Amino acid sequence: MIRDEKNEAIGMFCINYDITAIQQVRNLMNGFLNQSPQEFSTEPAQDVLSVIDQLIFNIIGAQDVKNLSRKKCVEMVKFMDEKGIFLVKGAIDKVAQMMGVSKVTVYSYLDEAKGKR
């Protein structure tokens, strides 16, 4: 409202603004924010182990590891190490199980891959 020196209304100042886009963003955000936590929450440790399992499976593939040369096994373990698989607790056990070898053998391959042997 615009007033004169006698404080009488002499005019009005209005700004019209289309807020459709803002309402659409708000509605979109409300869709995210109103979700119950159970819909999004998963067990992180379980997800990491699933990813590790999938990575190991993708690296080993359908190969019969027992028929591979030591050099090839060392190369696979080196590749897994470069991908960070062994940073996850329990990964050595998973790799040993999926390769059909002992944990000691996997550690041996890992040492060789790192040039410690």
Give pLDDT < 50 ranges for the chain.
37-38, 40-41
Residue 43's pLDDT is 57
Residue 73's pLDDT is 92
Residue 66's pLDDT is 82
Residue 60's pLDDT is 84
Residue 3's DSSP bridge partners are 9
- Residues 96/105, Cβ–Cβ less than 8 Å: yes
Domain spans in the chain, listed from the N-terminal domain onward: 2-40, 44-113
Residue 37's pLDDT is 47
CB atoms within 10 A of CB 92: 18
